[in-house]
Structure formats: C-alpha cells, structure tokens
Amino acid sequence: MPSPLGDKIRALRKQKKLSLEQLAELTESSKSYIWELENKDDPKPSADKIGKIASVLEVTTEFLLTESTASPGEEVIDEAFFRKYKSMPDDTKKRLRKILDAWDDDE
C-alpha cells in the first residue's frame, strides 16, 4: 500500500501531466526511484530529493511530508502563486497589480 507521500507525489505529478520519466528527469532522479517513492509502503527519500520534487510539483516539502492525504489547500496554492510572482519581470508584476486593483474596485 502506497504511503501518503507516494499518493501525494503521484496525484500532483498527474495533475501537472508529468510522466514518471519527466518527473525523474526534472528532479535528477531515476524513473525507478520515483516509482518506488510513489508505490512503496515506507519510502525514505533524502532531504535533497524531497526538496527537488516539491519544487517541481510547486508545493512545500512540509506538504509532502505531513501525514495528511488531503490535496493542496489554498495556502499551498498561494505559495505557488507567490513563488511564480517573485520570478516575474517587473512590468508583468505591475500589470498584475493593476488587474487586482481594478478587480478590487469592482467590489
């Protein structure tokens, strides 16, 4: 029976439409390693690997490692948004802020 960690990795990988091979390549892992994480009862990934997987899947390591099997909540989705936002060019950030301001004015 897969672990909560394995269930989360599989669900997030499929949500992002990534194959085992693609996730393995993006995390500098082997396909068999990712398969083991998704399918073994008690996988023991290294901190480095879990960090790379979390980054690619755009969730926190804490989310992956908690026992909860719930899908990512609003907090995790917000974190992913802000991570993307921080890496955007300044002009894109400015346009987004204008959109949000206009949206706020409509309420």
| Structure tokens that stand for 52 in this block | 């790379």
pLDDT of the residue at 74:
66
Per residue in 2-40, pLDDT (tens digit) is 788 888 899 899 989 999 999 999 999 999 999 999 998
61 and 39 assigned to the same domain:
yes
60 and 78 assigned to the same domain:
no
Top pLDDT among 92 and 66 is at 92
Residue range(s) defining the domain that contains residue 13? 1-72
34 and 51 assigned to the same domain:
yes
- Of residues 5, 100, 103, the one with CA closest to residue 53: 5
**Contact present, 29 and 43 (Cβ < 8 Å):** no
1 and 14 assigned to the same domain:
yes
